[in-house]
Amino acid sequence: QCLYQFLAFVPPSNGSLRKPGTAAVLVDTQHPLTLLLNGSVGDRELCKIQYHFGEFGNYSLVVKTLSTSAKTVSCDLVINEGPINSYLPILFAFLVYMGILAILIVGRLFMKIDPVRNWVYKKLNPRETDRLINSELGSPNTTDSVSSDPTPRLWSTASRQRLRSLDTFRGLSLIIMVFVNYGGGKYWFFKHESWNGLTVADLVFPWFVFIMGTSISLSLSSMLRWGSSKRKVLRKILWRSFLLILLGIIVVNPNYCLGPLSWDNLRIPGVLQRLGFTYLVVAALELLFTRAGAESGTLESPCPALQDILPYWPQWIFILMLELIWLCLTFLLPVPGCPRGYLGPGGIGDFGNYPNCTGGAAGYIDRLLLGEKHIYQHPSSSVIYQTTMPYDPEGILGTINTIFMAFLGLQVPLFFLAVGYINFSNFLFQGIISAILTKCSKEEGFIPINKNLWSISYVTTMSCFAFILLLLMYYLVDVKRLWSGAPFFYPGMNSILVYTGHEVFENYFPFKWKMQDSQSHAEHLTQNLIATTLWVIISYLLYRRRIFWKI
């Protein structure tokens, strides 16, 4: 539903010289396009062609007059030079990393040979660091010794040890986030979706929020179990939230290298700011209503399908009230010049009827309360929909659903800690809600999946994905111990340092350098993968030296 955008004017041919008029244009290759050719006299439609052009392809649209009297023309699309296969660099990178993995696996097998292992240990003298270490944002503590049985009979027995799967999950989310923030090889599916829909880049932030909620539950229960008073825990929650918000404001405003921060264009929202506020609300809510036995899965429930909801019924009431507020503001708040309940991108979308309505109520609230200069100036919607209004994907209204996402993650320990019982009903219900709200489509649903808006359907869909992925990691890492969680475990143990570091040093060597061909996927992908791999190596070295940045 986008307005046609002017590409070029084709001059008339010189009849005497039989030389056709020509015009050269560049077109987008991410989506199929419709080319509309209008006559210069009367603006009459001559022909219309729909085509999905390929990257670096060269095409000609040949227009010929068939009948001067009938004013009919023919339009034929000719491929002068075929497009390149832009996915070959991804295949090559995949093979390289698989080769590295194969070498590591072979090395691990050699380490099982006693003479080889003894020689390596004698040379390196490694120190064991896998023990009681709290990672930031509330990683769980260990209270019991590691069981001698490498394959526990019940899934629940692994919960008594440190859950490496939580740090592995956090690390995976963080590494994908670093990769896409560095550019993702300039592939469209490693960038955020322009508006409705999902790409790889849209998965990672909600996963990070989800695992933060899971860690909150375990860390708070651990502190209370070790005798910390609720007042002391609350002070720690307030201090940690303050530091995250302050750090976020500094990180998202990179002009601090040029002098004092200028309030005139200081961006207030951001990733760490939203994490800090979400952590404050969810952790305080859990601290206020936590009860003995809730964290260990010992609370009895007359209905097994509701055993993950009933222990949290006061929190659920609070969360549902927040969701009601989100719904009322989103669909009932009057926005000047925009229809009520508008969820579109504005710009040239919706046939250009609402150019200044980007984000509807969400964008209006941010511009009203924070000011246009204090929110994100280059939203993803500007790429396709050519929006001119600033819009912040980490704005005020979307924070409500971020709290909801963290709260869903907070309930995960009940699944893992309940003896011999895994309750899928809650997350199955969320999947059904997503299907209903979206009508299983990208654009036609009641509330489409939208990362910019952090819509309810986006939260329910991402929580289902996160639960399935975390459950798989839990089974492989903590239950069967088929995987140590490497290499994602290491950045997961230092997530704040890695996230902050990759933002601060983004434009410095060796994370970035001048390219010979800025249009090359191969060069961009090489640079972005090297930069991401360096942060994995840095986090591993810090882990080996027991250096952890905690807030």
Q: Which of 165-179, 255-269, 366-380, 513-527 has the lowest mean pLDDT?
A: 255-269
Which tens digits make up the pLDDT trace of 385-439? 999 999 999 999 999 999 999 999 988 865 555 444 555 666 788 889 999 999 9
Kindly state whether residues 407 and 396 are assigned to the same domain: yes
Kindly state whether residues 107 and 62 are assigned to the same domain: no
Q: What is the pLDDT of residue 158?
A: 41
Which residues lie closer than 8 Å to 536 by C-beta, 6 or more apart?
175, 487, 490, 491
Domain-embedded: residue 498: no
pLDDT range class, residue 134, cuts 50, 70, 90 = very low
What is the token pair recorded at 256?
A: 């601090």
Domain-embedded: residue 531: no
Domain-embedded: residue 179: no
What's the CA gap between 527 and 524, in Å, rounded? 5
Which tens digits make up the pLDDT trace of 301-328? 556 555 666 777 888 999 999 999 999 9
What is the token pair recorded at 188?
A: 């469209």
Kindly state whether residues 47 and 108 are assigned to the same domain: no
pLDDT range class, residue 70, cuts 50, 70, 90 = low
Phi, psi of 137 (to 5 degrees): 60, 20
Higher pLDDT, 23 or 152: 23
| In contact, 291 and 313? CB cutoff 8 Å | no
Kindly state whether residues 398 and 381 are assigned to the same domain: yes
Looking at 71, 96, 114, the residue that finishes a domain is: 114
**In the predicted structure, residue 377 carries a pLDDT above the cut 50:** yes
Domain-embedded: residue 513: no
At 125 the three-state DSSP class reads: coil
Chain mean position to CA 397: 18
| In contact, 224 and 231? CB cutoff 8 Å | no
Kindly state whether residues 429 and 475 are assigned to the same domain: yes
What's the CA gap between 65 and 408, in Å, rounded? 63
What's the CA gap between 452 and 394, in Å, rounded? 8
Q: How far is CA 470 from CA 28, 172, 177, 294, 414, in A?
A: 37, 11, 17, 21, 13
Query: How many distinct helices (H) and strands (E) make up the chain?
Result: 16, 4
Q: What is the pLDDT of residue 125?
A: 62
Q: What is the pLDDT of residue 423?
A: 58
At 481 the three-state DSSP class reads: coil
Which tens digits make up the pLDDT trace of 156-201? 444 445 688 999 999 999 999 999 999 999 999 999 999 999 999 9
Kindly state whether residues 323 and 387 are assigned to the same domain: yes
Domain-embedded: residue 354: yes
At 279 the three-state DSSP class reads: helix
Kindly state whether residues 62 and 110 are assigned to the same domain: no
Catalytic residue positions, numbered = 192
| In contact, 399 and 271? CB cutoff 8 Å | no
| In contact, 526 and 506? CB cutoff 8 Å | no
Kindly state whether residues 207 and 273 are assigned to the same domain: yes
Kindly state whether residues 284 and 405 are assigned to the same domain: yes
Q: What is the mean pLDDT of the chain?
A: 84
Number of domains in the chain: 3
Pairing of strands 58-67, 45-51: unpaired
Kindly state whether residues 96 and 67 are assigned to the same domain: no
Q: Please tell me the chain's helix, strand, coil percentages from 3-state DSSP, rounded to the nearest 5.
A: 50, 5, 40
Looking at 467, 482, 497, the residue that finishes a domain is: 482
Q: What is the pLDDT of residue 17?
A: 59
CA-wise closest residue to 275 among 137, 464, 466 = 137
| In contact, 340 and 460? CB cutoff 8 Å | no
Kindly state whether residues 63 and 94 are assigned to the same domain: no
Phi, psi of 41 (to 5 degrees): -100, 115
Looking at 449, 482, 515, the residue that finishes a domain is: 482
Q: What is the DSSP letter of 186?
A: G
Domain-embedded: residue 129: no
Kindly state whether residues 237 and 212 are assigned to the same domain: yes
Phi, psi of 282 (to 5 degrees): -70, -40
Buried b (16+ CB within 10 A) or exposed e, 433-456: bbeebbeeeeeebebbbbbbbbbb
Phi, psi of 144 (to 5 degrees): -115, 160
Percent of the chain with pLDDT over 70: 83
pLDDT range class, residue 537, cuts 50, 70, 90 = very high
**In the predicted structure, residue 140 carries a pLDDT above the cut 70:** no
**In the predicted structure, residue 455 carries a pLDDT above the cut 90:** yes
Domain-embedded: residue 149: no
Q: Domain range holding 437?
A: 193-291+308-482
Which tens digits make up the pLDDT trace of 77-120? 999 999 999 999 999 999 999 999 999 888 888 888 888 778 77
| In contact, 248 and 266? CB cutoff 8 Å | no
What's the CA gap between 442 and 1, in Å, rounded? 13
Which tens digits make up the pLDDT trace of 209-254? 999 999 898 888 888 888 888 899 999 999 999 999 998 888 777 6
Which tens digits make up the pLDDT trace of 194-212? 999 999 999 999 999 999 9
Q: Which of 38-52, 60-74, 83-97 has the lowest mean pLDDT?
A: 60-74
Domain-embedded: residue 133: no
Which tens digits make up the pLDDT trace of 474-517? 889 988 898 989 899 999 999 999 998 998 898 889 999 999 98
Q: What is the pLDDT of residue 121?
A: 74
Q: Which of 20-34, 65-79, 360-374, 428-442 has the lowest mean pLDDT?
A: 65-79
Alpha helix ranges (H) inside 411-447: 412-417, 425-438
